[in-house]
Structure 1
Amino acid sequence: MGARGRMGATVVEAVRSAPDMTVALTVDAGDDLGSITPDNTDVAVEFTVPSASLRNVLTLVRSGVSVVVGTTGWTDEGFAAVRDAVDSASRAGQSVVIAPNYALSAVLMERFARQAARYFESVEVIEMHHPDKVDAPSGTALHTARVVAKAREDAGLGAMPDATTGDETSRGQVVDGVHVHAIRLRGLNAHEEVLLGNPGEQLVLRADSFDRSSFMPGVLMAVRSAASGTRPGLTVGLEPLMD
């Protein structure tokens, strides 16, 4: 789904190149979702836009098809709706994978940030994308901030130091106490930094995706997992599928 979009077209080619997969259908805006059924599709890959993604996923789940979702902009309410729908699905083993980022480097960076967050007084997130991206901050950055905030909370850390006064809009969006900064610049693709600081030291974790092909190994990993039926229900993030 979203087969004529930038990411969707790349996914179509990746599936066609995979020896264990076949493209059943390509669907885009205005096409009938009723054409996607368990008779012709094992897994639907959904890369569309935030305004349509939840509706698309719920329609596919109710039709009995497992789904891998790459569209960003998801909310807790959206996750809850999908979780309820797939838990009530009649087909055994049906699953939905929703990941804010399918680049393995980004998933590992987030993992390392969670491990490191408890040891640092300050943490901030910077995400950088091309100006055609419709959501800001990115879903990956929001997820990273929440993961970092949870790690700090679990470690018993308090609020981070910040003496900023006056116009605080320059400090970015605050997500669970973590400042997240979004940059949109021509020439960029998808990049994220997590900056961790203590008195006298800094740790910088950075993941760069220079081309959409970087997301394809993660997408195919998610498709294989969804097709196997070994993780029924909703899986958020790619990390649970990695060794």
Structure 2
Amino acid sequence: MTKILVAGFKGRMGATATQMVLKNADFELVGVYDPIATEKDLAELPEFAGQHAPVFTELNATLVAEPEIWIDFTIPKAAVANTQFALEHKISPVVGTTGFTAADIKALQTLAEQQKTGGLIAPNFSLSAVLMMQFSKQAAKYFPDVEIIEMHHDNKLDAPSGTAVKTAEMLAEVRGDKPQGNPDEKESIPGARGANYAGMRIHSVRLPGLIAHQQVQFGGIGEGLTIRQDTYDRESFMTGVALACRKVRQASQLYDGLEYLL
């Protein structure tokens, strides 16, 4: 069985990932990590009653569990350090935390190459989200005028979402830096037109009741195309997380995006 440790196990995504590991017969949960946890054993939490695994609050202490995979759903500042720690000890990271900078990813990819250790940083583990991004990249060849509307729950820490930024990067590879809209337009309320990335606009919606949704809207002369993805349950992300856990140990580099493992 593949030995897995989950960082951020008390958050909603981390808790879902922990349940996923416990449900898969080829995975072994060897521990969970959170620097501010007060529990000593996972079973102390009501939702994990009867499911025993040590709780670690210090990075170095996790090495006792000898994990092969480090699943990370924490916060950006912690995730960068956690991923570096994992790679330094030849533990394959599977990271769903968003907010990594391009410089962060490049530095971690260099470290992974030096350590000959595979891993993955993915802004979204939903298969439908990956397909949405791929289809949007194809559409941008024919419809370079595009805007992105991403919608998430009101407790999300970053804006735009990592998925929206990744989508914009992929679209920019095709359409380049292309200003769009009226160059003389004036915002009566600053920010009304959203964030500007390579000429395209990104709009972030934060409301209770939402989980993760994104709409990529293209416009052409006399026609339009909308590609939309909706996540209704965090369980949908776990197919991609499990896939990554099964594949990263065969790699020797750190991938930036789930599409590289599909």
Q: Secondary structure at the match of 2:33?
A: coil
Which of 17, 23, 27 in structure 1 is aligned with 2:23?
17
Partners of 1:216 and 1:141 lie apart in 2 by: 20
Structure ranking higher on relative contact order (CA contacts 8 Å, 6+ apart): 1
Structure 1 match to 2:120 = 97
Partners of 1:166 and 1:187 lie apart in 2 by: 29
Partners of 1:188 and 1:221 lie apart in 2 by: 25
Partners of 1:121 and 1:151 lie apart in 2 by: 8
Quick check: 2:153–2:211 contact (8 Å CA) kept in 1?
A: yes
Superposition map of 1:15-164 within 5 A: 15-30=21-36, 31-37=57-63, 40-89=66-115, 92=116, 94-153=117-176, 158-163=178-183, 164=185
Partners of 1:144 and 1:18 lie apart in 2 by: 31
Partners of 1:71 and 1:112 lie apart in 2 by: 24
Which whole-Å deviations, capped at 9, do the CAs of 1:42-88 have from their partners, x for residues lacking one? 10101100121111111111122111000000111101110121122
Quick check: 1:38–1:65 contact (8 Å CA) kept in 2?
A: no
Quick check: 1:37–1:64 contact (8 Å CA) kept in 2?
A: no
CA gap of 1:61–1:206, structure 2 versus 1, over 3 A, is same
Q: Does 1:208 find its partner at 2:230?
A: yes
Identical aligned residues as a percent: 39
Q: Does 1:197 find its partner at 2:219?
A: yes
Note the aligned Cα RMSD (angstroms). Answer: 1.5
Aligned length: 234
**Offset, 1:166:** 4.1
Quick check: 2:30–2:65 contact (8 Å CA) kept in 1?
A: no
Which whole-Å deviations, capped at 9, do the CAs of 1:85-142 have from their partners, x for residues lacking one? 11221xx4x1120000000010000000000001014100000001000000000001
Which whole-Å deviations, capped at 9, do the CAs of 1:11-54 have from their partners, x for residues lacking one? 01011111211111111124111133396211010110012111
**Amino acid of the residue matched to residue 30 of structure 2?**
A
Structure 2 match to 1:173 = 195
Q: Secondary structure at the match of 1:203?
A: strand
Unaligned runs of 5+ in 2: 1-6, 37-56
Quick check: 1:190–1:208 contact (8 Å CA) kept in 2?
A: yes
Quick check: 1:46–1:69 contact (8 Å CA) kept in 2?
A: yes
Q: Does 1:8 find its partner at 2:4?
A: no
TM-score normalised over the length of structure 2: 0.85
